[in-house]
Structure 1
Amino acid sequence: MHDPRSIIDQTGMGARQWIVIGLMVLLNALDGFDVLSSAFASPGITKEWGIARSALGVVLSAELVGMGFGSLLLGGMADRYGRKGAMLACLVLMATGMYLASTAGSVASMIVYRLITGVGIGGMLAATNAVAAESSNTRFRRSAIAAYVAGYPLGAIIGGIAASEWLLPEFGWRAIFVFGAAVTAALVPLIAWLVPETAAFHFSRRNLDGANVTLKAFGKAPLAALPPPPAAGTAPRALDILSNPKLRPTTLLLAFGYMFHTITFYYILKFGVQIVSDYPPGYPPAQAATVLTWANVGGFIGSFSFGLVMARFGIRWPTAFMLLVGSLGVASFGLGRETLSAWQWATILAGFFTNAAISGFYAAFARGFPAHARGTGTGFALGVGRLGAAGSPLIAGALFSWLGNDQLLTVSAIMAMGSLCALVLFLMLPEKDGDELLAEADRKDEPA
């Protein structure tokens, strides 16, 4: 084996690799808390500033818009300068934005600060997904990615407990952002110390010494040389995701499929607390925030267990099933509930299926994009996807303003349609992975 990627793929998982996967789960957990921190804080913000749901929708969308820009602008940075450097830069942006949000005194300033946070999160998601895929072997890759995706709701669970049981009752909504900033900053030295640059990135840069450093960190034998580089004019480029006709369909189907699903996914995550707080008889912010915690309990279980399902049955049909049932769960949210525990169960079920579908998409990102463009491809798909995420609270807020706050079932049914659109696009994906598609294109271009 002369390719460092094949060594990682075909040998057993060492302790350092599991540590890296664990840290990627932790980083995604941090992203989950940081994204939903504004939702936890939303009742307090609404009360203090006296804003309507439509204005709240703009606040709740701000970091999601930032995530779109971050995925598009910084996702390519992971392919150009390395996954590790991209993660460290994004952590600094996230910590800065979270701290500034705690000082916001108006809707306008909060939007700016949440945009900053979102840019960091967007870039982080593209880099960490690549690291999780490239640091695990073939046997455990789908499970590693599922565990990584499960980190997102795990962070929201821990953050939700901290918010509802400690931060909101004791200190108020601003403490949520201070807490997030402190935890984010604390992770910078851990990532710098424990996460090596991936062997796949070093290989794409023809860096033998770098690849051997990573192999040594993972307990693998060093290489004496790398395979010969591609012939002149055939070197792979990050922009192959759109310029190569074999990769373009995969890129567009993943990006727009993910976009439609996030419209549905973020509806409950962003508006659930406010809906439960307003729904008769009404619940105080700390109690209403518990539904978001329970939504992410369901999401964590769904994401983590879905890794076992994908390992046995693949990605395609299990993800399609989760998209279908998830859309039904979100639509049923609109039926309303009479007790807080009933609301919690409704969000657990919706969270289980919608988060499992997110795991399917992330596994499809790692499979659908070739190694040399994995950060760029994932960043592009996430960036386009964030259009749906950012649009979700805006669309929901506009629907409530147009139809009335009492039309919960109608609004929920409309918002659930996003996952159905995603289902259609997901089933249109090619069966082959990105590297296979590129190799197939290269064989066709060879002279007879």
Structure 2
Amino acid sequence: MSARQWIVVILMVLLNALDGFDVLASAFAAPGISADWGIDRAELSIVLSAELVGMGFGSVLLGGAADKYGRKLTMIACLIVMAIGMWMAGHATGIPDMFAYRFATGIGIGGMLSATNAVTAEVSNSHWRRFCIGVYVAGYPLGAIIGGFAASGDVLGMVKFTGLLEAFGWHGVFEAGAVVTAALIPVLWLLVPETAAYRASRGDLAGVNKTLAAFGKAPLDGLPAADVSKPKPKVTDILSNPKLRPITLLLAFGYMFHTITFYYILKFAVQIVADYPPGYPPPVAATVLTTANIGGFFGSMLFGFVMARLGIKWPTALMLLIGAVGVGAFGLGRETLNGWQWATIITGFFTNAAISGYYAAFARGFPAYARATGTGFVLGIGRLGAAGSPLLAGALFKLLGNDQLLTVSIIMALGSVVSLILFLMLPEHDGDELIGQDDLPSGTPLD
């Protein structure tokens, strides 16, 4: 791994951090929006799910674009969409326009996640790949941590300052996200080359050697000759090939069920703590979302080392099990703010470690020629669970009552239990090994 390769990995971590802040911006702003517009939890759930619905569409549509037009161009386009959507969300005046702006932001985030995960896998070598994926996933809670500090103006009670919520209200959370998003566009353009794997899949020897030179590698003399009579890779390949189809479906629906559990804490923890007796003001309640992501950050970072040594399957299964227990226990309630913070740290650690396991499985499960397409499809299906999580939790609170926190939490924790069963059914093979050269479109090099 050259220095330039590590720079690209770090930038992918930062882009994922940006996604983490953008996705959770509505959660930081939720109490303020609810108070300003006079809406209850069920109506608030519509706002909270908007970007998650958009992420589903963006993952499928723009994941394929990353395999067709390139990872770099797709990421830049996604950043532009995200910046506009975030800025407009800060100026929304009601649920319909807020839903539209957050949906548009979600489309950009979905495409970004598909492309950045593929880039991280393709610029890292086989020795460091699982670790890099773990670090990459840790970027998501890192962005939420930084956003939580900035929104609340409280660094775990140790440092206090005027945060975005206090200085600008909920509007400032979205506007700050838009500014940072726009600032990263020129950085990405200058420092991240198109991946060699993508250029090789297009038969671009000159482009491959240009990327290799940027990474300090020796040039190639040639690429396998392509047979133009064979079809180009497309999203249907991951479903039509009998070897890839079960992997695609198990990953997609396993990830979907886990996100039902995962986003319950991320989307509703702030509102639950704000409402739970004795009740806390929004800036104070927002600290529990920060601590949840601190747990998630360390969970992803440490789990990257675990996967590098012990593999992906069984460690991830254990994280899914412990995470489900933690989310169920969250429903017991806490008497102090410190108690709530520790509860979210624990649930964040294990649920986010499981997310790292899934992302590593995405990179492993699909061959290089369809990695972004496969990842995008799986993330798109998975976002059904993410989008449905706040809607399901909101409906359960309305049906059972806000005082039934334990019952609702146990029901929401069952998503990770189902995910655990599906994850254990995955075959332990790399996508390239499972498919083999004879099953690939002619001229498509193995990773």
Q: Quick check: TM above 0.5? A: yes
In structure 2, distance between residues paired with 1:36 and 1:287: 16
Give the corresponding residue for 1:415.
412
The one-letter amino acid paired with 1:407 is Q
Per-residue deviation at 1:341? Answer: 0.3
In structure 1, distance between residues paired with 2:231 and 2:257: 35
- From 343, 347, 350, the counterpart of 2:340: 343
In structure 1, distance between residues paired with 2:86 and 2:145: 18
**C-alpha contact (below 8 Å) 1:99/1:178 kept by paired residues:** yes
Give the corresponding residue for 1:14.
2
Per-residue deviation at 1:230? Answer: 5.3
Structure 2 residue 63 is matched with structure 1 residue 72: no
Per-residue deviation at 1:430? Answer: 1.1
- 1:355-377 C-alpha deviation (Å, 9 max, x unpaired): 00000000000000010000000
The verdict on how the C-alpha distance between 1:106 and 1:442 changes in structure 2, with shifts beyond 3 A counting, is closer
The one-letter amino acid paired with 2:225 is P
- 1:281-314 C-alpha deviation (Å, 9 max, x unpaired): 0000000000000000000000000000000100
The one-letter amino acid paired with 1:96 is I
- Structure 1 unaligned spans of 5+: 1-12, 444-448
- 1:36-57 C-alpha deviation (Å, 9 max, x unpaired): 0000000000000000100000
**C-alpha contact (below 8 Å) 2:234/2:373 kept by paired residues:** no
**C-alpha contact (below 8 Å) 1:150/1:303 kept by paired residues:** yes
In structure 2, distance between residues paired with 1:177 and 1:280: 29
Per-residue deviation at 1:235? Answer: 6.1
- From 372, 388, 391, the counterpart of 1:375: 372
In structure 2, distance between residues paired with 1:18 and 1:99: 31
The one-letter amino acid paired with 1:49 is W
**C-alpha contact (below 8 Å) 1:25/1:150 kept by paired residues:** yes
The one-letter amino acid paired with 2:243 is K
Give the corresponding residue for 2:139.
151
The one-letter amino acid paired with 1:154 is L
Structure 1 residue runs of 4+, over 2 Å off?
227-239, 440-443
Give the corresponding residue for 2:237.
240
Show the 5 A alignment for 1:79-90.
79-90=67-78
Per-residue deviation at 1:227? Answer: 2.3
**C-alpha contact (below 8 Å) 1:101/1:110 kept by paired residues:** yes
In structure 2, distance between residues paired with 1:271 and 1:335: 15
Give the corresponding residue for 1:249.
246
Give the corresponding residue for 1:132.
120
- From 44, 51, 64, the counterpart of 1:56: 44
Structure 2 residue 113 is matched with structure 1 residue 92: no
The one-letter amino acid paired with 2:99 is I
- 1:87-125 C-alpha deviation (Å, 9 max, x unpaired): 000000000000000000001110000001000000000
Structure 2 residue 20 is matched with structure 1 residue 38: no
The verdict on how the C-alpha distance between 1:436 and 1:59 changes in structure 2, with shifts beyond 3 A counting, is same
> 3-state SS of the aligned residue for 2:243?
coil
**C-alpha contact (below 8 Å) 1:237/1:372 kept by paired residues:** no
The verdict on how the C-alpha distance between 1:64 and 1:237 changes in structure 2, with shifts beyond 3 A counting, is closer
In structure 1, distance between residues paired with 2:62 and 2:231: 25
- 1:221-264 C-alpha deviation (Å, 9 max, x unpaired): 11121123358437655532111000000000000000000000
In structure 1, distance between residues paired with 2:429 and 2:95: 46
In structure 2, distance between residues paired with 1:53 and 1:122: 25
Show the 5 A alignment for 1:261-300.
261-300=258-297
In structure 1, distance between residues paired with 2:427 and 2:164: 47
Give the corresponding residue for 1:110.
98
Structure 2 residue 340 is matched with structure 1 residue 352: no
**C-alpha contact (below 8 Å) 2:196/2:207 kept by paired residues:** yes
Structure 2 residue 149 is matched with structure 1 residue 161: yes
In structure 1, distance between residues paired with 2:137 and 2:165: 27
The verdict on how the C-alpha distance between 1:99 and 1:140 changes in structure 2, with shifts beyond 3 A counting, is same
Give the corresponding residue for 1:317.
314
The verdict on how the C-alpha distance between 1:234 and 1:105 changes in structure 2, with shifts beyond 3 A counting, is closer
**C-alpha contact (below 8 Å) 1:79/1:238 kept by paired residues:** no
The verdict on how the C-alpha distance between 1:441 and 1:333 changes in structure 2, with shifts beyond 3 A counting, is farther
- Range with greater deviation from structure 2 (362-371 or 217-226): 217-226
Per-residue deviation at 1:325? Answer: 0.2
The one-letter amino acid paired with 2:21 is F
**C-alpha contact (below 8 Å) 1:238/1:372 kept by paired residues:** no
- 1:269-289 C-alpha deviation (Å, 9 max, x unpaired): 000000000000000000000
The verdict on how the C-alpha distance between 1:73 and 1:412 changes in structure 2, with shifts beyond 3 A counting, is same
In structure 2, distance between residues paired with 1:38 and 1:70: 18
Structure 2 residue 210 is matched with structure 1 residue 213: yes
Structure 2 residue 322 is matched with structure 1 residue 334: no
The one-letter amino acid paired with 1:305 is L
In structure 2, distance between residues paired with 1:127 and 1:54: 33
The one-letter amino acid paired with 1:140 is W
The verdict on how the C-alpha distance between 1:230 and 1:367 changes in structure 2, with shifts beyond 3 A counting, is farther
RMSD of Structure 2 on Structure 1 (CA): 1.2
In structure 1, distance between residues paired with 2:390 and 2:235: 32
In structure 2, distance between residues paired with 1:171 and 1:238: 44
The verdict on how the C-alpha distance between 1:39 and 1:237 changes in structure 2, with shifts beyond 3 A counting, is closer
The verdict on how the C-alpha distance between 1:53 and 1:238 changes in structure 2, with shifts beyond 3 A counting, is closer
**C-alpha contact (below 8 Å) 1:246/1:441 kept by paired residues:** no
In structure 1, distance between residues paired with 2:438 and 2:207: 29
Q: Percent identity?
A: 71
Give the corresponding residue for 1:7.
none
Give the corresponding residue for 1:182.
179
TM-score by length of 2: 0.95
> 3-state SS of the aligned residue for 2:194?
coil
- From 10, 17, 27, the counterpart of 2:15: 27
- 1:115-168 C-alpha deviation (Å, 9 max, x unpaired): 010000000000000000000001000000100000000000000000000101
- Structure 2 unaligned spans of 5+: 154-162, 441-447
